[in-house]
């Protein structure tokens, strides 16, 4: 099982959007995927159409030792399970403060299901507290989404220090694999400047023995796309909500990159047949669960994207096209 934490302690940079859509692409490609919502805001849970107000929901059950992964996970799509964030997660950091081994509770629970999933992807809260430490202790890879705006890299060194500390003390397998530029706007020179700054930093780190020495900037950027901002309120991934938009093409390319380390446009996906996302209790053995059958005749094939980076001019054109269909201005979609 590949174990990935999607982390940046800055708020609103695209973590949840990235987890939802990479996980959805992986699941629709045929991998068994477990996503974990460690953010008490429960955006991932809500985005996948699960009721976050429901007591006894997911991740908290694991952290408080009340349940194992198979009991607490909920199946939300074919091949896709979630350990959701319920209301109780808000108090989890305080409750766990006196627990011995509090940073590795999630890791121990995940070890029990090592062979039952192909991917575990964790959505971290925008902080570097105990929930994030649990995510880093349970993962081997970190993907850092970055929104290229003023002060984008402020706090970056603290983030890397935290990763280095966890790597050094409790999880030597942990390393940063990728930095993903989200809400990229090729019309602004700032986007290109932030990317250059990160590139320069990574180049300078190559020969160091740090957990980010092998990190790469994902060669496809997630462009600003209003459909990505609209999809959460429908409880849908971008592939279910608007499979032909740029957001879907970008995230499909990122999923291919995460899986293969390159982008060739070969990452085909097949969506569930049900028009409404299926939410059902997890069976004892997710790996063998076939309760959401796929019927190829009704499946929606999604076009694979053009490989990798487009030139700035091309990006400008497509971003403007995306917005020209939208009643809202790009700025209103930035969220927090
Ligand atoms: N590429 C994009 N284009 C337009 N809007 C986007 C894009 N990516 C994300 N958004 C929107 O931006 C907002 C922040 O994104 P998201 O929730 O994924 O960030 P986050 O890092 O998880 O935030 P938080 O730190 O609060 O958990 C959301 O409203 C989301 O729908
Ligand atoms: Mg989030």
In which residue are the tokens 């575990």 written? 120
Confidence of residue 44 (pLDDT cuts 50, 70, 90): very high
Pairing of strands 280-281, 74-77: antiparallel
How much distance in Å is there from the Cα of 208 to the middle of ligand 2? 31
* Three-state SS at 288: helix
Rounded Cα distance, 112 and 83, in Å: 14
pLDDT tier for residue 311 given thresholds of 50, 70 and 90:
very low
Q: Which atom of ligand 1 is nearest to the CA of 223?
A: 1
pLDDT grade, residue 313 (50/70/90)? very low
State in Å: Cα 127 to ligand 2 middle.
11
Give pLDDT, residue 276. Answer: 54
Protein residue whose Cα sits closest to atom 8 of ligand 1: 14
Question: Mean pLDDT, to the nearest integer, of 192-204?
Answer: 90
Q: Which of 19-23, 40-44, 57-61, 235-239 has the lowest mean pLDDT?
A: 57-61
State in Å: Cα 41 to ligand 2 middle.
7
Query: Residue 270 above 60 pLDDT?
Result: yes
CA 278 to ligand 1 center in whole angstroms? 24
pLDDT higher at 270 or 311: 270
Task: Point out which residues pair with 74 in neighbouring strands.
Answer: 82, 281
CB 72 within 8 A of CB 59: yes
Ligand 1 centroid, distance to 334 Cα (angstroms)? 7
Helix %, strand %, coil % for the chain, to 5? 40, 15, 45
Which residue in 187, 161, 184, 186 sits closest to 174, CA to CA? Answer: 161
Gap from CA of 227 to ligand 1 centroid (Å): 11
Ligand nearest to the CA of 45: 2
For residue 143, the model assigns a pLDDT of 98
Q: Report which protein residue has its CA nearest ligand 1's atom 29.
A: 335
pLDDT (average), residues 258-277: 84
pLDDT tops 70 at residue 306:
no
**3-state secondary structure string, 143-196?**
EEEECCCCCCCCCHHHHHHHHHHHHHHCCCCCEEEEEEECCECCCCHHHHHHHH
CA of 113 to the centre of ligand 1 (A): 30
**Strands of the sheet with 216-217, listed across from one edge:** 216-217, 175-181, 141-146, 2-6, 119-123, 33-37, 80-83, 74-77, 280-281
Axis-axis angle for helices 156-169, 130-138 (nearest 10) = 60
For residue range 81-107, what is the model confidence (pLDDT) as tens digits? 999 998 888 889 899 988 889 999 999
Please choose from 8, 11, 17 the residue to mutate so as to test ligand 1's pocket, defined by most ligand atoms within 8 A of CB.
17
Element (H, E) at 114: none
Write down the architecture of domain 2-333 according to CATH: 3-Layer(aba) Sandwich (3.40)
| Best residue among 13, 229, 328 to mutate for probing ligand 1, ranked by most atoms within 8 Å of CB | 229
Give the model's pLDDT for residue 278: 52
pLDDT tens for 226-240 read: 999 999 999 999 999
Token pair for residue 53? 């107000």
Rounded mean pLDDT of 177-194? 92
* Ligand 1 and 11: CB distance under 6 A: yes
Q: Which atom of ligand 1 is nearest to the CA of 20?
A: 18
Residue 199 to residues 38, 157, 216, Cα–Cα distance (Å): 29, 14, 8
At 274-302, the pLDDT tens digits run: 545 555 544 434 433 332 222 232 233 33
**Phi and psi angles of residue 135, each rounded to the nearest 5 degrees, phi first:** -65, -45
253, two tokens = 């390319």
Pick the range with the lowest mean pLDDT from 23-37, 61-75, 267-281, 282-296.
Answer: 282-296
The residue whose CB lies within 8 Å of the most ligand 1 atoms, and thus the one to mutate among 46, 122, 124, 335, is 335
**Span 187-194, average pLDDT:** 89
Mean pLDDT score across all residues of the chain: 83
Q: How much is the pLDDT for 309? A: 35
Ligand 1 site, residue 127, Cβ cutoff 6 A: no
Res 216 pLDDT > 80: yes
């Amino acid at each position: 099982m590949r174990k990935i934490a999607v982390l940046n302690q800055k708020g609103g940079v695209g973590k949840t959007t990235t987890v939802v859509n990479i996980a959805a692409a992986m699941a629709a490609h045929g991998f068994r995927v477990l996503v974990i919502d460690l953010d008490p805001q429960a955006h991932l849970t809500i985005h996948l159409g699960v009721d976050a107000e429901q007591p006894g929901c997911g991740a908290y059950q694991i952290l408080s030792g009340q349940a194992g992964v198979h009991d607490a996970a909920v199946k939300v799509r074919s091949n896709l399970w979630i350990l959701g964030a319920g209301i109780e997660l808000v108090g989890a950091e305080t409750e766990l403060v006196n627990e011995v081994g509090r940073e590795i509770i999630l890791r121990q629970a995940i070890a029990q299901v090592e062979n039952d999933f192909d991917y575990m992807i964790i959505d971290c809260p925008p902080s570097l507290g105990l929930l994030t430490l649990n995510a880093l202790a349970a993962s081997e890879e970190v993907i850092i989404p970055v929104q290229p705006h003023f002060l984008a890299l402020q706090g970056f060194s603290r983030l890397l220090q935290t990763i280095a500390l966890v790597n050094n003390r409790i999880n030597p397998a942990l390393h940063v694999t990728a930095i993903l530029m989200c809400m990229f706007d090729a019309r602004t020179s700032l986007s290109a400047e932030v990317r250059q700054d990160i590139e320069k930093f990574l180049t300078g780190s190559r020969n160091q023995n740090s957990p980010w020495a092998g990190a790469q900037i994902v060669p496809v950027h997630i462009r600003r796309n209003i459909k990505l901002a609209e999809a959460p309120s429908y409880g849908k991934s971008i592939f279910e909500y608007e499979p032909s938009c740029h957001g879907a093409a970008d995230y499909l390319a990122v999923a291919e990159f995460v899986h293969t380390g390159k982008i060739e446009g070969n990452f085909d996906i097949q969506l569930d047949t049900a028009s409404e996302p299926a939410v059902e209790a997890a069976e004892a053995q997710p790996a063998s669960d076939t309760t959401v059958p796929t019927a190829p005749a009704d499946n929606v094939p999604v076009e694979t994207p053009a490989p990798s980076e487009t030139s700035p001019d091309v990006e400008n054109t497509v971003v403007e096209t995306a917005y020209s269909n939208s009643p809202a201005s790009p700025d209103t979609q930035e969220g927090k």
